Amino acid sequence: MSAGSADAAPTVADAGEHRIIALVRAQLAAPPPWVVIGIGDDAAVVEPARNHLEVLTTDALVDGVHFDRRFVDPASIGFRALAVNLSDLAAMGATPRVALLSLGLPPSLPLADLESLVAGLVELAARHKVTLVGGNVTRSPGPLFLDVTVTGMAKRRKVLTRSGARVGDELYVTGTLGAAAAGLSWLQAHGLPVDVSTLSIALQAAILRYLRPEPRLRFGVIAARTRAASACMDLSDGLADAIAQLTAASGVGAQIDADALPVDPAALERFGSVDDAARVALSAGDDYELLCAVPRRARRRFEAVARTTGLAITRIGVVSPASSGVILRRAGVDTPLPSGFEHFHR
């Protein structure tokens, strides 16, 4: 499986496990003092955060399912693998602490790509003060896969769940919807490298949103700490799925105003009609914005979270009794919101 020729770029197959681990470690900053034992032993050892609960999540990205190496650069793959996990912590209002990275590497993967992949992950980790304390490296006889586990901390009674929404709460989303889908659609059509000079500002931003999603950690943490939201969930599987999950977990219904959805300009540009863009905004994942239920008495506080974080928020509907179901209101006409958009293809 070795390259054979001296000219060929070295691949993972040329390196061996120890060199791959060394390559990862070389990119890491010194760990904080509460990391008692980091990478290099049978397991990592960490001092728990005092007076906090521990929050844990794991998410895998697989080549050909969650990204495509033909149009997602290695650094973005690493960045996204951590981002999707941090987004889950954001939705719980938890502050991240440590990450574990499990890599399944095709032997033909260039070592330079692996180095970039780790660099992308480390870049986002540094931004959010996440320490990579361990992981695993194995060969993959199939696609490249990355499985990241992240732990975080949250104060007791200040954890944001999916199940706290109550009738009368208002539903908000952060940011805009459909941007990542527009970016993905452009990348699928044109591939890398991106020549931004020919693109609108909105589409440039949308491509970046797909490649480097920004987990809304500060928003989630402050919303949880100030009790500005009664329930929260990230939009990793799209808004329609999030609404279905959050209402089911809370035992409520919802009325969503289709015309209020903050459809990203790039989605309008890329998907043509307003209707198509709205459908994308409801069904597309990858935006990693947050859906929050906000009690009316907490609205001011919620608006303050948006101001503090500089993130736009949009009221998209209201929580109703379970008996009235989950309804999408568009131009005055009510239809049941297609709940599923469940996709084992992701």
At closest approach, how far in Å is the CB of 261 from a second copy?
21
At closest approach, how far in Å is the CB of 126 from a second copy?
20
Nearest to a second copy of 155, 330 (CB atom): 155
At closest approach, how far in Å is the CB of 101 from a second copy?
8
At closest approach, how far in Å is the CB of 114 from a second copy?
12
**297, 228 in Cβ contact below 8 A?**
no
For residues 175 and 310, give the distance between their C-alpha atoms in angstroms, rounded to a whole number.
10
Question: Quick one: tokens of 281?
Answer: 């905004």
Nearest to a second copy of 61, 278 (CB atom): 61
Nearest to a second copy of 141, 332 (CB atom): 141
At closest approach, how far in Å is the CB of 34 from a second copy?
10
Q: Which helix H or strand E contains 39, and what residues bound it?
A: none
At closest approach, how far in Å is the CB of 236 from a second copy?
8
For residues 169 and 312, give the distance between their C-alpha atoms in angstroms, rounded to a whole number.
19
Closest CA to 81 of 115, 112, 58, 111: 58
Nearest to a second copy of 36, 201 (CB atom): 36
Nearest to a second copy of 208, 249 (CB atom): 249
Burial class (CB in 10 A: 0-12, 13-18, 19+), 89: buried
**132, 28 in Cβ contact below 8 A?**
yes
For residues 202 and 225, give the distance between their C-alpha atoms in angstroms, rounded to a whole number.
33
For residues 317 and 57, give the distance between their C-alpha atoms in angstroms, rounded to a whole number.
29
Nearest to a second copy of 91, 258 (CB atom): 91
At closest approach, how far in Å is the CB of 98 from a second copy?
7
Amino acid occupying residue 203: L
**Maximum Cα–Cα distance for the chain, whole Å?**
69
Nearest to a second copy of 100, 222 (CB atom): 100
Closest CA to 144 of 245, 44, 68, 41: 68
First vs last C-alpha separation in the chain: 30
For residues 152 and 142, give the distance between their C-alpha atoms in angstroms, rounded to a whole number.
31
At closest approach, how far in Å is the CB of 163 from a second copy?
8
DSSP letter string over 22-35?
A: HHHHTTPPPPPTTE
Nearest to a second copy of 171, 182 (CB atom): 171
